Structure 1
């Protein structure tokens, strides 16, 4: 008997819900099912930041590259350390180093942690890291 009563309540709830849904406008339904929050991924930049205009190599380095390149994580060439950068540039050439940064190399994922960076942004960041060496 309890099962019949429970089933009756369940079916009644479904019918009531269906009737309510028919009375709702599309706008009401959109409001009802809209997300209650958003997700921020550390290291990722908001679209509005990317739309704010061109970024300098220094800005890109500070936001997306410094965490690894300031201390040489997993063998990353350190910021403005000629001994780290010169062998790479002399042996492979700047364009290969740049392409490796775009595609990813060793422990570095493609474009490092700057998913919103263009290829030219990556080039500017590398140029900043080797400036003066």
Structure 2
């Protein structure tokens, strides 16, 4: 007779365990739908870049740039590497025929453009004085010895 009671006891404990498991499972699944609170300051700090780059625009008064400043901002793009047949900065051999024409002719070529070089070397905001200073600077790197024009 003890064999007959054992299956009944197992069924009875299973009858109470199944509803308990169902209730616990429902409670766990109900919590899954809730979204966690996000601290936006912590998130922002976590995704900050390693370094920051700040670009500051500095306006220079028209006509106040030196020949070197104009060269570095406008002329170096082509003349540093000789792009499109531009005479290379400091190469006396390439500059000799141009320097032989004189400063006025050289400066007129820069102002009006020559070959692939656009007028004013592409620096449309350059004044005539700035173009002259840049021309003198660039020519002097090839040994011209032109006097540096005065700053306004």
Q: Which of the five TM-score ranges fits, normalised by the shorter chain?
A: 0.5 to 0.7
Q: Which residue of 1 aligns with 2:114?
A: 105
- The normalised TM-score by structure 1 is 0.59
Map of 1:1-133 to 2, 5 A cutoff? 49-51=59-61, 54-90=64-100, 92-132=101-141, 133=143
Q: Can you give the 5+ residue segments of structure 1 that lack an aligned partner in the other structure?
A: 1-45
CA distance, structure 2, for counterparts of residue 87 and residue 58 of structure 1? 22
The alpha-carbon distance between structure 1 residues 50 and 74, as it changes in their structure 2 partners (threshold 3 A), is same
- Higher RCO (C-alpha under 8 Å, 6+ residues apart): 1
RMSD: 1.9
| Paired residues, number | 86
Deviation at 1:64, TM superposition (A): 0.5
CA distance, structure 2, for counterparts of residue 53 and residue 105 of structure 1? 23
Deviation at 1:53, TM superposition (A): 6.2
Deviation at 1:75, TM superposition (A): 1.2
Q: Can you give the 5+ residue segments of structure 2 that lack an aligned partner in the other structure?
A: 1-56, 144-152
The alpha-carbon distance between structure 1 residues 50 and 116, as it changes in their structure 2 partners (threshold 3 A), is farther
The alpha-carbon distance between structure 1 residues 49 and 96, as it changes in their structure 2 partners (threshold 3 A), is same
- The normalised TM-score by structure 2 is 0.52
Bigger CA radius of gyration: 2
Deviation at 1:129, TM superposition (A): 1.0
Deviation at 1:77, TM superposition (A): 1.3
8 Å CA contact retained: 1:81, 1:130? no
